[in-house]
Amino acid sequence: MFPATNECLDIQPNSHSVDLRTCHRKTRAQAWMVTSDGKIRSEDLCLTWGAMMVLQENVDEEITDMAAAAVSCSIDDKYQTWNVSYEVL
């Protein structure tokens, strides 16, 4: 959550795209956790950054020029590793 704007990372329905939306806590699409290995997870998906990704899971969709997406977690994917610092409010 970004307290100054009351916005949360939100996975868009039927998609892998991630946007900032008003926090609502009604669905798991805004439930994220930071893991000890630097991943930001929402259930079995990880926040991933990069210029181009082709998704091959249950969605036949190509995402290009996208800043971030939620895709299957991969141990060796450097685009899923984040340096996170936060303050408990």
Residue 85 falls within a domain, yes or no? no
DSSP helix/strand/coil, 21? strand
User: Which pLDDT tens digit goes with each residue over 2-55?
Assistant: 667 888 889 888 778 888 889 987 888 899 999 999 999 998 899 998 744 444
User: Global pTM?
Assistant: 0.71
| 83's tokens | 């340096």
What CA–CA distance (Å, rounded) separates 53 from 70? 11
Helix-strand-coil percent breakdown of the chain, rounded to 5? 5, 40, 55
Residue 86 falls within a domain, yes or no? no
Residue ranges making up the domain that contains 48: 7-75
What CA–CA distance (Å, rounded) separates 9 from 84? 14
Residue 84 falls within a domain, yes or no? no
Determine the pLDDT at residue 55.
47
Q: Are strands 33-34 and 45-49 parallel, antiparallel or unpaired?
A: unpaired
Task: Count structural domains, the chain.
Answer: 1
